[in-house]
With several copies, the nearest count.
Chain A
Amino acid sequence: MSPDLHIQVGPLHLKNPVLTASGTFGYGREFAQLMDPNRLGGVIVKGISLKPRPGNPPPRIVETPCGMLNAIGLANVGLDAFVSEKLPWLQTLHTAVIVNIYGHTLEEYAQVAAGLKGVQEIAALEINVSCPNVARGGMSFGTDPNLSARVTEAVLKQTDKPVIVKLSPNVTDIRVIAKAVEAAGAHALSLINTLTGMVIDIETRRPVLGNETGGLSGPAIRPVALYMVHQVVQSVRIPVIGVGGIITPEDALQFLMAGARAVEVGTGNFVDPRTTLNIINGLTRFCRQKGIPTIREIIGTAQQNW
């Protein structure tokens, strides 16, 4: 008998714990010729804002040791085009579709959430609180527990869906933010978003990225992500989704054992478009080899008090 990979993330029911991370899987369709998205636990689409955004000046990407920096600048088609052009295809999927949303003000967050209300095929919203907050001079909402909580509340008021809040790692104590967001009513947390970084071109003596700084992702950040997931799982009661440098089934297992109930794969999709499917197959294989009937059994097993 095949091991059971079903998992419950708060109110969200997933056929397996493997999701695609926002911004690395487009609007889903881009990968459909190469792998069957219906096999995924869920698809998290590119961050959607109220208005379309062209994104940052190029170059937007630079490779780093075991990772990459991106400064896409949250380029996206905007809420209206998302609903009219991207959503119809996503609605044909037989897996959870999660929409990542963001805004530059509290109102923008709320408006995007409101715009997606009632669309039955959207399983949940994921709030990206890591984008720069215009009102506070570029520091992100996600570095301030108060603001993070207010964004969460604003979105909750405008939606009928489970709300996942995606946390930034660029903070002194991520548990403080996690707790604030939990208290504000979030149904789940996902972490981590990218670490801020820079690469300089020694020929031009300028930062490589058009935006100067970018977000570090990929295997390089995996130990940091795993540590933060391990920490946050101990500090909140709501479920946690692990993100950061996950490429292999063994990587995913580390996060599940640390207490994550699901994982998101980001940069791994670029390395191999079938990374997520390899991970799903690997989880099945692991459970079978160890005689574990359900993946739920391994969640949190690396926590001290388990």
Chain B
Amino acid sequence: MIEQHAEVTFNDRVAADTYLMGLKSPDIAARAHPGQFVMIRVGAQADPLLRRPFSICGVRKDGGLLILYRVVGRGTRIMAGAGPGTGFDVLGPLGNGFDFPAQPGESLLVAGGMGIAPLSFLAQRTGQEVQILTGYACADQQIPFECLGLSHCAVLVATEDGTIGHHGRVTDLLQESGNHIPHGYAQVYACGPIPMLMAVADLTLRQGIACQVSLESTMACGLGACQGCAVPAAPGSDRRYYHVCQDGPVFEVGTLDWEQLQPHVP
């Protein structure tokens, strides 16, 4: 875990309101594991005050750290305006990443929107030709696979408005062959909006397929110190809440209380 001032090497618009940023952060990049995240301080002023959490979307050999982000509010708007040479304070890598897949061909990656960020890092690191299902609201939000270094993977796309790929949700792709995860997959990795994760959790729990999800939560410290990022633990756990920054952001589906999870990060 490191805190360092990192220079933006590039910051390219890769889809509607979506940017891929390269940060020169060799020390964080060297330690990064797929599923881990960083906290970025978006400016030197006291407003916006808190750091913003972002999954690590990949690392480059030259020490580059990749962040894929969508502009949703003030912090990400400031980030989108940052040209090469701008500096940001970056804290990471934080949290626990994904457990890697055991057998080639057995992992299925399910990404809703920006959920592709940690999953593409995972896909790269496995080195395997994994199957990735991605979902977007519409075609112009789709991130070109080349940007993400996913050319070695099989990627299927769904859009909610049908402008590209399957017309519907990414979870439809899962359920195509009847309402279950297609045969042969022993491990699902998912990241995306809570309603999507709920659907995935439901399927995998029912079928008894191992599944790890990466969650979001508002955060202050990112270090397990403030107890701010609580998510409800499954009934019967030894604790009432887990902390996304420390116990996650990657969780086994069975450890969470899906009924109590807030569907909406304001």
Contacts and interface: CB of A to CB of B under 8 A. Distances in A.
Direct touch of chains A and B (CB < 8 A)? yes
Interface of A: 23-26, 30-31, 33-34, 46, 54-55, 57-63, 65-68, 70, 72, 75, 201, 203-204, 208, 210, 218-219, 247, 267, 269-274
B262 interface: yes
Contacts of B77: none
A107 to B, nearest CB: 24
Q: Which of A46, A60, A68, A274: most chain B CB closer than 10 A?
A: A60
Contacts of A270: 50-51, 220-221, 226
Interface stretch (B96-104, B177-185, B206-214, B227-235): B227-235
A271 B219 CA distance: 11
Given A30-B224, A31-B223, A61 B3 contact: no
Nearest to B91: A273
A68 B229 CA distance: 14
Nearest to A64: B49
B46 interface: yes
B105 interface: no
B223 A273 contact: yes
Interface in B33-78: 41, 46-51
Q: Which of A33, A247, A273: most chain B CB closer than 10 A?
A: A273
A66 B46 contact: yes
B262 A54 contact: no
Contacts of B240: 54-55
B220 A70 contact: yes
B221 A218 contact: no
B47 A61 contact: no
B236 interface: no
B46 A247 contact: yes
A33 B27 CA distance: 14
A62 B262 CA distance: 14
Q: Which of A26, A33, A61: most chain B CB closer than 10 A?
A: A61
30 contacts: A23-B226, A24-B221, A26-B223, A26-B226, A31-B225, A33-B1, A58-B230, A58-B232, A58-B241, A59-B265, A60-B218, A60-B227, A60-B230, A61-B220, A63-B218, A67-B49, A68-B49, A68-B220, A72-B228, A75-B230, A208-B266, A218-B49, A219-B46, A219-B47, A219-B49, A267-B220, A270-B220, A270-B226, A272-B3, A272-B41
A216 to B, nearest CB: 12
Interface residues of B, number: 35
A247 B252 CA distance: 38
Interface string B217-260: 11111011111111110000001110000000000000000001
Contacts of A26: 221, 223-226
Interface string B96-120: 0000000000000000000000000
B217 to A, nearest CB: 7
Contacts of B239: 54
A203 B221 CA distance: 26
A247 B48 CA distance: 14
Contact of A55 (B225, B230, B264): B230
B144 to A, nearest CB: 31
Nearest to B47: A66
A23 B225 CA distance: 7
B202 interface: no
B96 to A, nearest CB: 15
A62 B218 contact: yes
B225 A269 contact: yes
Contacts of B218: 59-63
B89 interface: yes
Given A66-B49, A67-B49, A271-B49, A34 B1 contact: yes
Given A59-B266, A61-B219, A70 B1 contact: no
Contacts of A272: 3, 41, 89
A65 B47 contact: yes
Q: Which of B227, B240, B241, B264: most chain A CB closer than 10 A?
A: B227
Contacts of A65: 46-47
Contacts of B230: 55, 57-58, 60, 75
A218 B260 CA distance: 30
